[in-house]
């Protein structure tokens, strides 16, 4: 029996978690010399399966390989999988002739002793080694008796991070022999809905793969399957070697209609945040570039090349400067300069002339850069709403000036003072990467290794693209106090376009009904607060309907993130604090069975009395989460009377003194824009555009018209807000931000505040004294006649001037009316009367309208005196006087 050949196999998984990077997950099987088809050196690998299940970005991968020893003597079989450095192995089992040897996660020290003992006894031991840029190689070999079968099963998990607008999962495939059953099956479940999904193999065009590759997605589910037949695996029709050799990549993204998504399962929550459509915050970038002697040759050429490309992508609002360092420090300009076309031209000429020289003085170079940014800020030389970034590239260790890493870190930390992030790029291997990483992490940035290769320039550009578009700065995610425990990182200096902020935690009270989160940040023009509210009962209901995924994924996702962050914090901590962080990370790694840098997987022979025929089961019970539901933060309009227009445009003017209201309709052709409010003193204007029903009704007496678009402008502030039934667009000068009616967000800026309550209403306030509410009326999408429309409510107008005019605005100042001679009309419920208003005698009819200002779904009835003929006699002039050519 093969199992007799060893009693303890220890897999010391050496490096678990490395700097963040594109996740890659590869797979490879080693076998030697080809003898017969499908059998190499006596070993037939007859099946290889990679099963991936991705739920809410959390990927759970199981790689299973089965082999049989067809030789007449014992043979060694190797199992070799390349997985992303960012992944944690969570399980490994070996099954030889039906006997399963399960893996256990142990503290590294404990495991190491067993490992050393196993090695000293000549036993087989597995190992994980760094392999390539993003990968780690897991290797294990076992001796298999003649005629015996062996099954290897490796499980690993990781949180897919969003880079440049998508999630990417790499599987490296390199079987080196033809395999009867070769299969990749990936199931993706995303509660927000999948917006794109693709799968590609680097080793062959998708056309040639034909029926072997299928990919599909619909709603919340995506599926990729790759099952090449033996024939399709051949590198040529008569060949016995495999064509499969390279990367198999799955990429996807989720719907972004809503900026955030919250999922809660079994008391654990995860909150994803990735708003779209915001303008880019201008940035002030200082590039601190190593030009020491070791950079000579290709490295400096590639750096020049990358910087030239980066300069092409700079936006005119950005400010920049270059600092070159070797033994001494030189700068391109004394201070930061704006990225005008002329300056960029000059910068390119400067970059082309960068040459290597001398030693490496990291300390002085960084301090110069930091001081330059601090000074530009203090002296208001850069725009107020800009953000700063410092990017350092080096290929070696500090060897002149202050060269003690701890001292440099201290100096840099004190100089930056948490104000902006530092990114460190380590070029090549000849450097102290831990130092660069720890320094970047403690200054809210991160480090990247740039591999010395022909694409180093592309790696540099790729890094820059990730940080080139900050959309929000000083992002803070807040939950109600005393409701949340064990929160992962919830503040970020920047949110970059194409990325995603992920926060996870535990609910203190599992029985709570509502979950609320606010994300606050500074945008290019506004301060924003995104509010997300979830109804837990509804989510639970959706969970029950969903029977697709493995059970405790949110808890595991939380554990993964927490461990990752504890390890990161540990890298920048010292002494007792470091020990404490390490201890916490170790506890969690053991509890959740994660192979991290602190733990190892140990595979031991089961005791004779244990069940020896354990067979791998599909992971846990299925469970899932629903998309979060956001609720209206109820807006309570003040008890004072107000003015509004809603429905088939019905204008309602409440008259405080009378405790009564007047109403009128305006009937105009679809497309017409009407002036609702115009105040020459405050500069405020509100216009509305009329839409009709889906079916054109030429009879103006019976046709229905509504407001489909509203334009609110404040000329003094150079601010415009366009509201349609689809989206809300804010312009501030030339900068534009777009929100959807699916957002719950508050935008504030210079006294203006805009709050969107998902699918319900929107509140716009100009300081203290002007507040409008816009109500979204949604009808059934497939309704044959009606379509979505808007209502407009003026709930506070006391700061608007007496010169205010417009269909609603003219009533903002006190006015009086008299009603008498109430008499029955043709409709007994709607008596007629005579009204005297603005010196006109009018026949009016008692009627009622709905007021949706308090609740967008259930209107309250408001009684009013209806003025006929487009408000003739009530409004100043005639209604066509209020037609304007455009929304703004």
Ligand X SMILES: *[C@@H]1O[C@H](CO)[C@@H](O)[C@H](O)[C@H]1NC(C)=O
**What's the CA gap between 360 and 325, in Å, rounded?**
7
**What's the CA gap between 173 and 189, in Å, rounded?**
24
User: Residue 594 Cβ, how far from ligand X at the closest point, in Å?
Assistant: 10
Going residue by residue from 44 to 83, which x/- string records binding to ligand X, judged by CB under 6 A?
Answer: ----------------------------------------
CB 245 within 8 A of CB 203: yes
Buried b (16+ CB within 10 A) or exposed e, 501-510: bbbbbbbeee
Residue 444 Ramachandran class (φ > 0 left, ψ -120 to 50 alpha, else beta): left
Q: Which of 42, 102, 597, 649 binds ligand X (CB under 6 A)?
A: 102
User: Residue 384 Cβ, how far from ligand X at the closest point, in Å?
Assistant: 39
Strands (E), 334-413: 337-338, 387-394
User: Residue 153 Cβ, how far from ligand X at the closest point, in Å?
Assistant: 5
Restricting to residues 619-658, name those near ligand X by CB under 6 A: none
User: Residue 342 Cβ, how far from ligand X at the closest point, in Å?
Assistant: 55
Q: Output the CA–CA distances (angstroms, integers) from residue 877 to 679, 690, 760, 807, in the order listed.
A: 18, 20, 35, 10
Cβ proximity to ligand X: between 30 and 586 the closer is 586
**Residue 286, Cβ density class (10 Å: 0-12 exposed, 13-18 middle, ≥19 buried):** buried
Cβ proximity to ligand X: between 13 and 728 the closer is 13
Which residues face 315 on adjacent strands?
A: none
Structure tokens at 831: 């008596």
Structure tokens at 634: 């109820």
Element (H, E) at 76: strand 75-84
User: Residue 581 Cβ, how far from ligand X at the closest point, in Å?
Assistant: 8
Q: Which of 74, 458, 512, 614 binds ligand X (CB under 6 A)?
A: 614
Cβ proximity to ligand X: between 91 and 687 the closer is 91
Element (H, E) at 420: none
Restricting to residues 129-188, name those near ligand X by CB under 6 A: 153
Buried b (16+ CB within 10 A) or exposed e, 186-195: bbbbbbbbbe
User: Residue 573 Cβ, how far from ligand X at the closest point, in Å?
Assistant: 11
User: Residue 446 Cβ, how far from ligand X at the closest point, in Å?
Assistant: 25
Cβ proximity to ligand X: between 208 and 583 the closer is 583
Q: If binding is defined by CB under 6 A, does position 593 make contact with ligand X?
A: yes
User: Residue 91 Cβ, how far from ligand X at the closest point, in Å?
Assistant: 4
Cβ proximity to ligand X: between 431 and 557 the closer is 557
User: Residue 619 Cβ, how far from ligand X at the closest point, in Å?
Assistant: 7
Cβ proximity to ligand X: between 174 and 604 the closer is 604
Cβ proximity to ligand X: between 619 and 831 the closer is 619
Cβ proximity to ligand X: between 240 and 580 the closer is 580
User: Residue 7 Cβ, how far from ligand X at the closest point, in Å?
Assistant: 19
Please give the full DSSP string across 276-330, using - where no structure is assigned.
Answer: -SPPPPPEEEEEEEE-SGGGTTHHHHHHHHHHHHHHHH--TT-EEEEEEESSSEE
The angle subtended at Cα 642 by Cα 636 and Cα 646, nearest 5°, is: 90
Please give the full DSSP string across 472-518, using - where no structure is assigned.
Answer: EEEEEEE--TTSEES----EEEEEETT--EEEEEEES-TT-SEEEEE
User: Residue 532 Cβ, how far from ligand X at the closest point, in Å?
Assistant: 30
- Quick check: helix, strand or coil at residue 611? coil
Restricting to residues 480-499, name those near ligand X by CB under 6 A: none
Cβ proximity to ligand X: between 62 and 128 the closer is 62
**What's the CA gap between 488 and 521, in Å, rounded?**
18
User: Residue 627 Cβ, how far from ligand X at the closest point, in Å?
Assistant: 29
Nearest to 290 by CA among 338, 330, 334: 330
Which residues face 330 on adjacent strands?
A: 324
Element (H, E) at 362: helix 362-378
Cβ proximity to ligand X: between 616 and 883 the closer is 616
User: Residue 61 Cβ, how far from ligand X at the closest point, in Å?
Assistant: 13
Cβ proximity to ligand X: between 367 and 586 the closer is 586
User: Residue 566 Cβ, how far from ligand X at the closest point, in Å?
Assistant: 10
Q: If binding is defined by CB under 6 A, does position 364 make contact with ligand X?
A: no
Cβ proximity to ligand X: between 102 and 873 the closer is 102
User: Residue 584 Cβ, how far from ligand X at the closest point, in Å?
Assistant: 5
Cβ proximity to ligand X: between 105 and 524 the closer is 105
**What's the CA gap between 3 and 605, in Å, rounded?**
8
Restricting to residues 653-682, name those near ligand X by CB under 6 A: none
Structure tokens at 140: 């294990």
Cβ proximity to ligand X: between 514 and 618 the closer is 618
Restricting to residues 380-419, name those near ligand X by CB under 6 A: none
Element (H, E) at 116: helix 108-120
Nearest to 520 by CA among 498, 552, 480, 491: 491
Restricting to residues 532-591, name those near ligand X by CB under 6 A: 580, 583-584
CB 390 within 8 A of CB 365: no
Quickly count: other Cβ atoms within 10 Å of residue 353's Cβ.
8
Cβ proximity to ligand X: between 546 and 584 the closer is 584
Structure tokens at 45: 């690998």
Q: How far is CA 842 from the centre of its chain?
A: 59
Give how many residues touch ligand X by CB under 6 A: 10
**What's the CA gap between 429 and 443, in Å, rounded?**
23
Instruction: Please count the residues of the chain.
Output: 888
Cβ proximity to ligand X: between 48 and 93 the closer is 93
Q: Which of 48, 52, 91, 757 binds ligand X (CB under 6 A)?
A: 91
User: Residue 600 Cβ, how far from ligand X at the closest point, in Å?
Assistant: 14
User: Residue 183 Cβ, how far from ligand X at the closest point, in Å?
Assistant: 17
3-state SS of the chain: helix, strand, coil percent to 5?
Answer: 20, 40, 40
**What's the CA gap between 457 and 301, in Å, rounded?**
9
User: Residue 734 Cβ, how far from ligand X at the closest point, in Å?
Assistant: 49
Residue 407: what are its φ and ψ, rounded to 5°?
A: -70, -40
CB 519 within 8 A of CB 273: yes
Q: If binding is defined by CB under 6 A, does position 331 make contact with ligand X?
A: no
Residue, CB closest to ligand X: 616
Q: Which of 14, 99, 230, 616 binds ligand X (CB under 6 A)?
A: 616
Cβ proximity to ligand X: between 581 and 864 the closer is 581
Cβ proximity to ligand X: between 554 and 835 the closer is 554
Q: Which of 93, 284, 689, 746 binds ligand X (CB under 6 A)?
A: 93
- Site residues for ligand X per CB under 6 A: 91, 93, 102, 153, 580, 583-584, 593, 614, 616
């Amino acid at each position: 029996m093969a199992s007799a050949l060893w009693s303890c196999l220890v897999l010391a998984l050496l490096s678990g978690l490395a700097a963040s990077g594109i996740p890659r997950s590869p797979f490879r099987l080693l076998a030697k010399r080809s003898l017969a088809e499908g059998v190499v050196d006596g070993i037939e690998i007859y099946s290889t399966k990679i099963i991936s299940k991705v739920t809410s970005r959390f990927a759970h991968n199981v790689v299973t390989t089965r082999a049989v020893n067809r030789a007449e003597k014992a043979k060694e079989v190797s199992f070799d999988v390349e997985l992303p450095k960012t992944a944690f192995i969570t399980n490994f089992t070996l099954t030889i002739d039906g006997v399963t040897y399960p893996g256990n996660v142990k503290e590294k020290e404990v495991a190491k002793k067993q490992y050393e003992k196993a090695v000293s006894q000549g036993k087989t031991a597995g190992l994980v080694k760094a392999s390539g840029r993003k990968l780690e190689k897991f290797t294990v070999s076992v001796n298999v008796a003649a005629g015996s079968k062996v099954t290897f099963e490796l499980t690993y998990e990781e949180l897919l991070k969003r880079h440049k607008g998508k999630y990417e999962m790499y599987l490296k495939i390199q079987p080196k022999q033809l395999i009867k059953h070769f299969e990749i099956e990936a199931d993706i479940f995303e509660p927000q809905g999948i917006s794109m999904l693709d799968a590609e193999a680097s080793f062959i065009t998708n056309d040639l793969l034909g029926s072997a590759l299928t990919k599909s997605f619909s709603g919340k589910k995506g599926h990729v399957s790759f099952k090449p037949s033996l024939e399709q695996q051949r590198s040529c029709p008569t060949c016995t070697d495999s064509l499969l050799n390279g990367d198999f990549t799955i990429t996807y993204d989720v719907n972004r209609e809503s900026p955030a998504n919250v999922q809660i399962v079994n008391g654990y929550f995860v909150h994803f945040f990735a708003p779209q459509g915001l303008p880019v915050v201008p940035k002030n970038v200082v590039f601190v570039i190593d030009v020491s002697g070791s950079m000579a040759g290709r490295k400096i050429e590639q750096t020049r090349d990358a910087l030239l490309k980066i300069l092409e992508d700079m936006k005119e609002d950005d400010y920049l400067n270059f600092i070159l360092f070797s033994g001494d420090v030189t700068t391109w300009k004394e201070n930061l300069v704006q990225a005008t076309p002329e300056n960029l031209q000059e910068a390119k000429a400067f970059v082309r002339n960068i040459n290597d020289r001398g030693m490496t003085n990291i300390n002085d170079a960084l301090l110069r850069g930091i001081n330059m940014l601090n000074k530009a800020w203090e002296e208001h030389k850069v725009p107020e709403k800009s953000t700063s970034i410092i990017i350092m590239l080096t290929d070696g260790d500090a060897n002149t000036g202050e060269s003690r890493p701890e001292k440099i870190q201290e100096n840099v930390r004190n100089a930056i003072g948490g104000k902006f992030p530092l990114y460190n790029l380590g070029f090549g291997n000849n450097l102290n990467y831990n130092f660069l990483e720890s320094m970047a992490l403690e200054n809210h940035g991160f480090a990247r290794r740039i591999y010395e290769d022909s694409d180093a320039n592309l790696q540099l550009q790729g890094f820059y693209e990730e940080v080139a578009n900050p959309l929000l700065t000083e992002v803070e995610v807040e939950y109600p106090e005393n409701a949340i425990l064990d929160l992962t990182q919830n503040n970020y200096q920047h949110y970059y376009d194409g990325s995603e902020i992920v926060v996870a935690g535990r609910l203190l009270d599992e029985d709570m009904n509502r979950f609320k989160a606010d994300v606050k940040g500074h945008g290019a023009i506004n301060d924003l607060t995104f509010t997300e509210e979830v109804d837990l009962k509804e989510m639970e209901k959706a969970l029950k309907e969903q029977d697709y995924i493995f059970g405790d994924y949110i808890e595991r996702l939380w554990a993964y993130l927490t461990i990752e962050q504890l390890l990161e914090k540990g890298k920048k901590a010292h002494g007792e604090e470091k020990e404490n962080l390490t201890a916490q990370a170790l506890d969690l790694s053991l509890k959740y069975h994660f192979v991290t840098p602190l733990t190892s997987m140990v595979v031991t022979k089961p005791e004779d009395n244990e069940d020896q025929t354990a067979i791998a089961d599909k992971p846990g019970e299925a469970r899932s989460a629903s998309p979060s539901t956001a609720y209206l933060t109820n807006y309570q309009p003040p008890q004072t009377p107000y003015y509004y227009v809603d429905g088939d445009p019905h204008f309602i003017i409440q008259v405080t003194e009378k405790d009564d209201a007047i109403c009128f309709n305006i009937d105009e052709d679809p497309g017409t824009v009407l002036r609702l409010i115009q105040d020459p003193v405050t500069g405020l204007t509100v216009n509305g555009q009329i839409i009709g029903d889906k079916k054109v009704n030429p009879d103006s007496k019976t046709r229905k018209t509504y407001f489909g678009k509203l334009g609110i402008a404040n000329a003094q502030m150079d601010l415009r807000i366009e509201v349609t039934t689809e989206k809300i667009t804010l312009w501030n000068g030339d900068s534009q931000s777009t929100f959807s009616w699916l957002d719950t967000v508050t935008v504030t800026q210079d006294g203006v505040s805009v709050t969107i309550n998902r699918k319900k209403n929107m509140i716009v306030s100009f300081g203290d004294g002007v507040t409008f509410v816009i109500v979204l009326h949604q009808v059934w999408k497939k309704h044959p006649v009606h379509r979505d429309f808007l209502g407009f409510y003026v709930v506070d107008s006391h700061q608007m001037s007496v010169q205010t005019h417009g269909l609603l605005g003219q009533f903002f100042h006190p006015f009086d009316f008299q009603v008498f001679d109430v008499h029955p009309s043709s409709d007994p419920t709607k008596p007629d009367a005579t009204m005297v208003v603005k010196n006109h005698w009018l026949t009016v009819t008692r009627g009622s309208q709905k007021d949706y200002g308090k609740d967008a779904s259930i209107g309250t009835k408001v009684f009013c005196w209806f003025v006929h003929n487009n408000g003739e006699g009530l409004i100043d002039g005639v209604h066509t006087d209020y037609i304007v050519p455009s929304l703004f």
